[in-house]
Amino acid sequence: MPIQPEAYTYSNTDQTSPEPAAGNAQNRSAAELAAGLLDDKAHVSPKYLYDTLGSKLFEALCLLPEYYPTRTEDAIVAANMASIVRAIGPEATLIDLGAGNCAKAERLFPTLRPRQYVPIDISREFLEQAAAQLQPRYPQMRITPLGLDFSHELALPDSVPAERRVFFYPGSSIGNFSPDQASAFLRRLRDACGADGAVVLGVDLIKDAAVLQAAYDDALGLTSAFNLNLLRNVNRLLGSDFNVADWMHEARFNERAQCMEMHLKARRSVIVRWPGAQRLFERHECIHTENSYKYTVPSITRLLSQAGFAHAQTWLDGRNWFAVVHARAA
Ligand SMILES: C[S@@+](CC[C@H](N)C(=O)[O-])C[C@H]1O[C@@H](n2cnc3c(N)ncnc32)[C@H](O)[C@@H]1O
């Protein structure tokens, strides 16, 4: 069955036409990128890791033996499908934050049978392809893909029912925020989900630093390619002239913060130019591109309860490496 055109809408509000919305989003991205690159310690948000190639590289690195989070989370869900689906309950509007290829949500469909599926992703083209492939497999299900950046606002269009909203946020993406930012983001989810809503989070737990280091700096170099590809995406969005060959991937474990960090380190002194500005990066100067904070079950439960969620239920793997957490609006 073809995707319903009214459901297949890419705009922030569903009220504006896609072109102005896309133009505004691009201007905002350019301003945000320029500000981060001009900071004393240059930084770029990890959301810019994801253009179409970035999404494909992420999909590939999930297959690496070193990258345990995806397969560990999948195994937790498979082993606890019945109780996770019972916790979510019937008639859910499943809103998948950073849906990527939609594979994790799809595994829930046969048992959960959500009323509507709303995959959201900043990587629009990749999401569009994933949703187009998904719809014929679930002709009865309304699928409403939204290509937007949820870090600024979470104004969901009228095509997303207000009842039984369940925010599905797997892959430990919550760890990309600092704990304070994560708390603020969860509060926004609490506001957006309403009194009968819930969240389902996939959360990476504190573990041996060597396991983390290998996961973020794999032997094949896929994480390195994924990180370096951010520069190509920045060139596209900002009009900058980064040369990928001038940079190298670096993964660091910040033990004090229990956070894996990704950086791009200049191989030599380089000047990077973009419309209206430029910056000299000295040899070995870095651009910070990702944080991935690790949690404990008590610390994530505390964050959820501070944000207005309660009745947290947690499912773990045998090594306590990863947690899937369901919590209801308090
Ligand atoms: C770590 S991947 C997870 C993909 C998939 N959910 C999974 O668990 O395998 C993060 C996903 O979130 C998307 N994303 C990151 N930041 C975003 C933002 N601010 N707004 C919308 N999507 C975002 C990325 O494009 C990417 O698909």
Give the model confidence (pLDDT) of 78-109 as tens digits.
Answer: 999 999 999 999 999 999 999 999 999 999 99
pLDDT surpassing 90 at residue 7 = no
Rounded to whole angstroms, the Cα distance separating 262 from 46 reads 9
* Count of C-beta atoms within a 10 Å radius of residue 66: 17
| The pLDDT of residue 258 | 98
| The pLDDT of residue 8 | 31
Ligand 1, pocket-test mutation among 95, 102, 120, 122, most atoms within 8 A of CB: 122
- Any domain includes 323: yes
- Domain ranges, residue 160: 80-207+294-329
> Hey, which bits of 81-232 come out as E strands?
93-97, 116-120, 142-143, 165-169, 198-204
What is the whole-number distance in angstroms between the Cα of residue 10 and the centre of ligand 1? 16
What is the whole-number distance in angstroms between the Cα of residue 11 and the centre of ligand 1? 17
pLDDT surpassing 50 at residue 214 = yes
CA neighbor of 95 nearest in space, from 202, 198, 204: 198
Give the model confidence (pLDDT) of 174-205 as tens digits.
Answer: 999 999 999 999 999 999 999 999 999 999 99
pLDDT surpassing 80 at residue 23 = no
- Any domain includes 185: yes
pLDDT surpassing 50 at residue 10 = no
- Any domain includes 151: yes
Task: Give the pLDDT mean for 135-154.
Answer: 94
Residue 172: give its domain's CATH number: 3.40.50.150
Give the model confidence (pLDDT) of 270-319 as tens digits.
Answer: 999 999 999 999 999 999 999 999 999 999 999 999 999 999 999 999 99
What is the whole-number distance in angstroms between the Cα of residue 98 and the centre of ligand 1? 3
Query: For the sheet containing 198-204, what is the strand order?
Result: 142-143, 116-120, 93-97, 165-169, 198-204, 322-329, 309-316
What is the whole-number distance in angstroms between the Cα of residue 96 and the centre of ligand 1? 9
Residue in the structure block whose two tokens are 């000047």: 271
- Any domain includes 262: no
Burial pattern 156-183, b for ≥16 Cβ within 10 A else e, equals: beebbbeebbbbbbbbbbbbbbebeebe
pLDDT surpassing 80 at residue 39 = yes
- Confidence band for 24, pLDDT divided at 50, 70 and 90: confident
Task: Give the pLDDT mean for 134-140.
Answer: 96
End-to-end CA distance of the chain: 39
Give the model confidence (pLDDT) of 233-252 as tens digits.
Answer: 999 999 999 999 999 999 99
pLDDT surpassing 70 at residue 19 = no
- Any domain includes 72: no
**Nearest Cα residue to atom 12 of ligand 1:** 98
Burial of 326 (0-12, 13-18, 19+ CB in 10 A): buried
What is the whole-number distance in angstroms between the Cα of residue 150 and the centre of ligand 1? 10
- Any domain includes 31: no
Ligand 1, pocket-test mutation among 12, 50, 68, 104, most atoms within 8 A of CB: 50
**Nearest Cα residue to atom 17 of ligand 1:** 47
What is the whole-number distance in angstroms between the Cα of residue 20 and the centre of ligand 1? 23
From residue 136, alpha-carbon distances to 4, 81, 132 in Å are 11, 24, 8
Pocket of ligand 1 (CB under 6 A): 47, 50, 55, 58, 70, 98-100, 104, 120-123, 149-151, 170-171, 173
From residue 203, alpha-carbon distances to 83, 166, 262, 266, 293 in Å are 18, 16, 18, 32, 9
- Phi then psi for residue 22, to 5 deg, are -65, -40
Ligand 1, pocket-test mutation among 68, 104, 118, 123, most atoms within 8 A of CB: 123
Closest ligand 1 atom to 150 CA: 20
Rounded to whole angstroms, the Cα distance separating 89 from 98 reads 22
Closest ligand 1 atom to 149 CA: 20
What is the whole-number distance in angstroms between the Cα of residue 164 and the centre of ligand 1? 22
What is the whole-number distance in angstroms between the Cα of residue 282 and the centre of ligand 1? 31
* Count of C-beta atoms within a 10 Å radius of residue 52: 15
| The pLDDT of residue 26 | 84
* Count of C-beta atoms within a 10 Å radius of residue 149: 18
- Any domain includes 119: yes
3-state DSSP assignment of residue 158: coil
**Nearest Cα residue to atom 10 of ligand 1:** 98
pLDDT surpassing 90 at residue 9 = no
**∠ CA 159-165-167, rounded to 5°:** 110
- Any domain includes 47: no
| The pLDDT of residue 155 | 86
CA neighbor of 12 nearest in space, from 158, 170, 115: 158
Joined tokens for residue 78: 């498979």
Length in residues, the chain = 330
From residue 313, alpha-carbon distances to 16, 72, 89 in Å are 39, 18, 13
Helices (H) and strands (E) in the chain, counts: 10, 12
What is the whole-number distance in angstroms between the Cα of residue 276 and the centre of ligand 1? 30
Task: Give the pLDDT mean for 37-48.
Answer: 98
Percent of the chain whose pLDDT exceeds 70: 93
Domain count, the chain: 1
